[in-house]
A and B are shown apart, each in its own frame.
Chain A
Amino acid sequence: MESLMAYVIGILFAAAIYMMLRRSIVKMVIGLILLSNAANLLIFAVSGMKRGAPPLIPEGASAPLGPVADPLPQALILTAIVIAFGVLAFAVVLIRRAYEIVGTDDLDQMKDTDT
């Protein structure tokens, strides 16, 4: 499954970078979302994907029974998901605000600092 995910991640990165290179600022935001999803999947895939072995400890035991999925990358991804959402929310409001003031969503038109 990991090798299949490698190709999926590659396509996600390609799509994300293509969108981030667009001049429309909305497309850039979509690129940003794609990029954060791609990055999360990247961490998830390279740490090894296990089916049906969540890192949980049954009641009464002091350690999981048998091998479980690696909990550390999961913790990192959890943080990343939440932070990415914070960044996105901020970016979206900022863009809307910028559009109201500048009157365009073309990044090339926004290159001067004083408008």
Chain B
Amino acid sequence: MLLAVLSGFLLAAFAPLLTRMAGKSIGWLLAVLPASLTVYFASFIPQIQGGDALLIEYTWMPGLDISLNFLLDGLSLVFALLISGIGTFILIYAGSYLKGHPNLNRFYVIMLCFMASMLGLVLSDNLITLFVFWELTSITSYMLIGFNHEDMDARKCALQGLFVTVAGGLALMAGLILLAVMTGSYSLHEILNSSEALGSHGLYTAALICILAGTFTKSAQTPFHFWLPNAMAAPTPVSAYLHSATMVKAGVYLMARLNPAMSDGELWGQVLMLFGGATMLVGAYFAFSSTGIKKVLAYSTVMALGTLTLLIGVGTELAMTAFVCFLVAHSLYKGALFMIAGALDHETGTKDITRMGGLRHKMPMTALFGCLAALSLAGLPPLFGFIAKELLFEAVLEAPFWSTAATLAAVVSAMLVVGVAGLVAVKPFFGKPGNTPKDPHDAPLGMLAGPAVLSVIALLFGLLPFIPQNAVLLAAMQAVYGQPIDTYLSLWHGINLPLMLSGVSLLAGIGLLTLWPRLQPGLYAVNTAASRFGPEAGYFKVMEGITHIASWQTRVLQNGVLGMYLLIMVAITFGLTGYTLITRYGLHLSLQLGDSHFYEWGIALLLVVSAVFASSTHSRLGSVASMGVLGFAVALTFILFSAPDLGITQLLVETLTVILLVLVLFKLPEFVNLSSPFERYRDLTVAVFAGVVMVLVVLATLDIQYFESISSYYIENSAPLAYGRNIVNVILVDYRALDTLGEIFVLSLAALGVLSMLKLKAEDQHKP
């Protein structure tokens, strides 16, 4: 299982090489992996058919309670099969759609990484692992939307998608952690099997808001739906795969996954129904009023995501049946329709539906499969989409609350979707031949394979619904519902209310479709006017605000004045040190006068006077000379207090320093007062404060001895082991010889630097 999930990443590493070697047939070659994964996952069907869940464990970071456990039950298996199954055809399709594209190798790398991340997401049992895969899908999606990275619009849309989904992802992380705090476990199957009622827990509302913020942004629920249509800047294979069939369903997956645990609070159902219903209507309306074929499909995806959310919110047994069927039906027809849309775009050279028409003569096969998929979208018998739609109507009619409103929303959106299906199937393929930039032909085999298989499956599932039902759908329904479900899918339910609603929406949809050419300009004008106030406008406002804050903060903090940086650093460092010292240790100022000789007082006085003089004089020479005095006083201190080596070194270095300063600094200008009195007093205050903190630190250090000195080891072993009698020297050249070597390197480098700078100057002078 681990290999199955990670194989995508592995293959991604070799994809560029394979792309170069395989040439035109690369799509077919790479598709072998998802195809075999599909077979692999299908082999689990007998084990989980009865509603059992398989747990496959790998430990990863046991100390942090993070494991690579995989949970395979009906729901994750349905998703895994969709991801690998549709992925197979997408890879084939991309090979043909992007034939000869210079960045095809990169495309396959990201695409395979995405596929692996998505599989990891739906199969993870651990919440943290799930979140990691969740973020990986956001990142790969970002790179795929911005695949045409030289196009500024594509970059902008990619960034928008990333910001929206990652902002939600951040909330999701908080939500998942809260969930783990509530249940005491990071493991999904433990959370789902725990009998605790989460609804009455104090953290329930907070966790719910955080988790839904994550799933709503990922699954493009209103008001976050705007990033999804913009994501259509991606190449069509990406739109077909990520932004209809798989990634945008990650949010839906997580809601369905957590439904058994979270649904005992009333808020869950209400929020999901409200947002789901709103998204359904918004998506259906915009799908109907757009003209770009990909935008139409994108908005109808938004509508489908809303429907799925609504169904989870309804929460009845019937709603879960409808949820699973709608999920599968949508993935099948939407994947197929996107690939058809790409084929149309590829062959005709335009994305605008108003310019297409009568293409069924020139592209008969494309037209056949396109119409088949569109019939499923419209929810007409005998396709699987029909079963899903009938179940949707049944479920909302029997919803425990808000039933009337939900039914009304479902009928209206079904009506609009019939119109949408007409737009994508009737408009391009029937009617008068349109005026397209390119002379169209039927799409090549690689581009037709996907739509053909997916739409035929949709037809088969519609005619023989017991096949998918017995295989995985029943198990998936149980996983979402949390209890065994007994249901039987069939195409014909007899003449009942849902069928009548279908009929009404079908007729109204056809009516709308005939009116479309007249309605469209008006709708377009309304949408343009409304877009100034929509959520997307809000997004741009927020982004602008962030830029403003960033530039303001840069102006204030990163102003390029070194002194300011230093002042802030010193003030904060010493402020925090002083605060910690006083709160933990207290304020103890002590001075023992009796333990010092008079000449030691003299040296101390010399140190203080020379330091104060060096920093207050206006004369450069005075300053340098008093630095010399200070250095010699330090040397005296060393010598008086048992450190003869230090004293000698200090004397040598101090002599050299004074010579160096006198030689070099006197080529620089005289001291002038550059700062204003205010600045000087401000700096003086900070400096004095730092000095006081240092005094307190030294006194505290003298007072408390936390550890024994380790020097006794050196003192004892210096002569017997290292054969040296000056212990300081033995430490430097023997015990810590490597340090000394490093020191020699540093000095040599400094010397080289000095030399080269002096030499540079000499060369400058040769220039005219």
Partner of B664, one of A8, A81, A87, A92: A92
B650 x A81 contact (CB < 8 A): yes
| Complex interface residues of chain B between 639 and 680 (CB less than 8 A to chain A) | 640-646, 649-650, 653, 656-657, 660-661, 664-665, 667-669, 671-672, 674-675
| CB nearest neighbor in A for B698 | A6
Contact with A along B676-708 (1 / 0, CB 8 A): 000000011011101110110011011000000
B596 x A96 contact (CB < 8 A): no
14 chain-A/chain-B pairs, Cβ below 8 angstroms: A1-B600, A3-B590, A4-B592, A15-B611, A21-B566, A55-B726, A56-B727, A57-B725, A64-B715, A68-B715, A74-B645, A81-B653, A92-B660, A99-B669
| CB nearest neighbor in A for B563 | A21
Q: B516 near A: Cβ within 8 Å?
A: no
With contacts A75-B736, A96-B664, A105-B669 taken as known, whether A21 is within 8 angstroms of B728 at the C-beta atoms is: no
Give the complex CA separation of A97 and B624 in angstroms.
20
Partner of B758, one of A14, A38, A93: A93
Shortest C-beta distance, A113 to chain B (Å), equals: 9
Partner of B684, one of A18, A38, A90, A93: A18
Given A11-B608, A99-B667, 17 extra CB contacts under 8 A: A1-B641, A4-B593, A7-B695, A13-B694, A15-B615, A18-B687, A42-B698, A54-B644, A70-B709, A72-B714, A75-B731, A82-B747, A85-B653, A89-B754, A92-B661, A96-B665, A97-B760
Give the complex CA separation of A65 and B566 in angstroms.
48
| Complex interface residues of chain B between 354 and 382 (CB less than 8 A to chain A) | none
Shortest C-beta distance, B638 to chain A (Å), equals: 7
Partner of B698, one of A45, A84, A88: A45
B753 x A27 contact (CB < 8 A): no
B566, B592, B688, B695 pick with most chain A CB within 10 angstroms: B695
In the bound complex, residues from chain A placing their C-beta under 8 Å from that of B90 are none
In the bound complex, residues from chain A placing their C-beta under 8 Å from that of B611 are 11-12, 15-16, 34
Contact with B along A61-82 (1 / 0, CB 8 A): 1111000111110110111011
In the bound complex, residues from chain A placing their C-beta under 8 Å from that of B650 are 81
A96 x B702 contact (CB < 8 A): no
B567 x A21 contact (CB < 8 A): yes
In the bound complex, residues from chain B placing their C-beta under 8 Å from that of A94 are 753, 757
A8 x B753 contact (CB < 8 A): no
Which positions in B face A, CB cutoff 8 Å?
560-563, 566-567, 570, 590-593, 595-596, 600-601, 604, 607-608, 611-612, 614-615, 620, 623-624, 627, 630-631, 634, 637-638, 640-646, 649-650, 653, 656-657, 660-661, 664-665, 667-669, 671-672, 674-675, 683-684, 686-688, 690-692, 694-695, 698-699, 701-702, 709-711, 714-716, 718-720, 725-728, 731-732, 736, 739-740, 743, 746-747, 750-751, 753-754, 757-758, 760-761
A72 x B643 contact (CB < 8 A): no
